[in-house]
Structure 1
Amino acid sequence: MPATTKAIIFDLGSVLIDWNPHHLYRKIFDDEQEMIDFLANIATMDWNEEQDMGRSLNEGTEILVKQHPTHEANIRAYYTRWEEMLGGAIEGTVEIFKQLKASGKYKIYALSNWSEETLGIAQRHYDFLNWFDGLVISGLEKTRKPFPDFYQILLNRYELQPGDVLFIDDNYRNIVAAVKLGIPSIHFVGADKLEAELKMRGVL
């Protein structure tokens, strides 16, 4: 790892936190394929990202109910039962976070697409969200990954240059966007591979 590296930036969902709508909707749907179709075609990730970017949960819900009234109950469950989408911490990554924090070598930040309205729920569940030196959350900033301005908010706020940081995210789209900005990045596919990559880079 270059000596100029000052900070590690973590995504939250699917990197440190096992957030997955399947955890909830497997309780609602008896048929797996029906659940998959609902999440692929109705309560989609694109729709959810509008709430992540600052649209209220209520507004997002009402828009979707109007579009798909026969699915109203299942749509309303998305946010009224959102807490049931939390499957726990991804312990291997949390352990890596602990090691990085304990080393004292780096500032550690979160850069996450996350609704302002559900952030507090996550903070009650996961103590490690209090370990960060700063959190940049899309719902608060009204922009999100992979838009360049969202990455730039973090860099500007903490007086960092793109080459000063190492960014970790499970969504390859977001990695591509970061690399275009000159931000060294790791595509997260599991804690073991992350640990190996960090060791190879001399971080751990």
Structure 2
Amino acid sequence: MGQYTKDIYRDPSGPPAEARETPYIRNFEDTVNLIVSKEPIRVCVTGAAGQIAYSLLYSVAKGDVFGKDQPVNLLMLDIAPMMGVLEGVKMELQDCALSLLREVVATDDPEVGFKDCDVAMLVGAMPRREGMERKDLLAANVKIFKVQGQALDKVAKKTVKVVVVGNPANTNACICAKYAPSIPRENFSALTRLDQNRAQAMVS
């Protein structure tokens, strides 16, 4: 039995002070102090009741996206019929008791979801249904991303970074940026990795 273990058995209150004062514990305390001192960033995820967002939300909340020392306020936005599901997702996140997650908001109001947000992840979009022509899909998504662009323009920080995930991502990003003229165009990005993978497969 090592000296450290003997000390624990001899003193039920725990190891001696010199054993407790380790570099690991000091680093842990420094990390905790840093987390407490940093201002949380406001992150909005749309389509938050969907399956893609379900995985994304947890990654954002536990620090995989913005860093293990960056607290977040998570704003989850979806349409009114999905609010029951979204409240369930909210409770799951709260039950996780994640140290970086300061606040969770579930809403169907874009102006609430985008209020003062630093990052907007636009996951929700109208999917292409059977028998739907591409022009019908574009028309449906124009309505969605026009409203979201206007809300971003009105209530989000002007430094907000907007990542468009919902397909057709390039078109949706263009629409959103058009209706948010006070936000710099370079702050909008479209995730088109699938298109890139397909193009690479065709030329390889």
Q: Answer whether TM exceeds 0.5 for this pair.
A: no
TM-score, length basis structure 1: 0.35
Larger RCO (alpha carbons 8 Å, 6+ apart):
1
The structure that is helix-richer by fraction is 1
TM-score between the two structures when normalised by the length of structure 2? 0.35
